Amino acid sequence: MRRTRTRALASTIAATALVLSACGSSDDGAGGDEGNDPQATSAGSKLAATWPLTGLPVKGEDSAVQDHPVLVLKMDNTSSSAPQVGLGSADLVVEELVEGGMTRLAAFYYSRVPDDAGPVRSMRASDIGIVSPVDASMVTSGAAPITIKRINGAGIEFFGEGAKGFYRAGGRSAPYNLFARMDETATLTRGGERPADYLTWGDAADLPKGKPATSLAASFGGGHTTSWSFSDGRYTIDNGYAAAGDEFPADSVLVLRVEVGDAGYRDPAGNPVPETKLEGKGEAMLFHDGRVVRGTWSKDGLGAPIELATKQGELKVPAGHTWIELVPREAGNVTFAR
């Protein structure tokens, strides 16, 4: 059951402070009878041994009380967004198709919440399947009425312009000048338990060998292609818009081939708005450490987790920062090279 939520755009929300100070957790979670439990109680809150969006261990120097929702900021991903701010602090990013063949980013924040992030853009119905598995709260410029109705129906909490933390940045033109002070917006969220892991995390040593792949290109159907290069253990976007030094630190790139339908309305320019169907099943490609492993993905419903598999069994994503590409099954394409 999803918790009942209160909309920041409609009413005042009682602030709950987001604590980002160290909480004295143990790195290995061991100790007495709690040694077999992945969580240990500290300061009245449960701390898991790993972060839900990365699978990385929670260390004393960067631990946080895990009693707040995941925050997902909708970020523009066109040249007009440059420079994008806040991607370097994200735990996980999902890239999705929007109208006109362009893409938009869903930047997930949990282990770190940045001071500033943006440009902030609007939600899509596609986001229901993207954020629901971790019961995330969304930071957005708004949405079309039909989308807001569906977001409300899905029980997703969201904060838009006018809520605490939002501001218009000087030197940029609208609508690419809306930003959020995420540390301030985070105080609007209500408390909650640590969410389930977004992906099934594992050890890189257990990943199937796969094929060499030090570059890849994810095409979303002619309007946009995201190109990646692998070097020094990380994947870097060759044609991205992130501010220098604020790029997303991708350890893995996960490509999911997805069905794309019509959301049922058009944008102000008259373009039909697509809707990514992040449920069902399809082809998956996991890029890690300069190689690619092919498999399949499945998701039993919009709120269900993403499950990955190969012919040999479950496919686990190596713990780290992951960028997910939701590439259209029909119109999109994925290529890679040694």
Residue 46 scores a pLDDT above 80: no
At 173, the pLDDT band (50, 70, 90 cuts) reads very high
Residue 219 scores a pLDDT above 90: yes
Q: Which helix (H) or strand (E) holds 185?
A: helix 182-185
CB-based contacts of 315, cutoff 8 Å, min separation 6: 200, 208, 284, 286, 293, 295, 308, 309
Cα gap 167→162, rounded to integer Å? 8
For residues 197-213, average pLDDT = 96
The whole-number pLDDT of residue 61 equals 58
The whole-number pLDDT of residue 62 equals 58
In tens, the pLDDT along 29-43 reads 333 333 334 344 333
In tens, the pLDDT along 241-269 reads 999 999 999 999 999 999 999 988 888 88
The whole-number pLDDT of residue 193 equals 81
The whole-number pLDDT of residue 65 equals 67
The whole-number pLDDT of residue 15 equals 32
In tens, the pLDDT along 290-317 reads 999 999 999 999 999 999 999 999 999 9
Other C-beta atoms closer than 10 Å to the C-beta of 21 total 8
Work out the mean pLDDT of the chain and round it to a whole number.
86
Residue whose pair of structure tokens reads 């007495």 in the numeric block = 32
DSSP 137-184: EEE-S---HHHHHHHHHTT--EE-BTBTTEEEPTTS-TTTTEEE-HHH
Please give the domain boundaries of the chain with CATH numbers for all domains.
Answer: 38-62 (no CATH), 71-188 (3.50.90.10), 201-337 (3.50.90.10)
Q: b or e along 163-176 (b: 16 or more beta carbons within 10 Å of the residue's beta carbon)?
A: bbbbeeeeebeebb
**Token pair for 249:** 């630190």
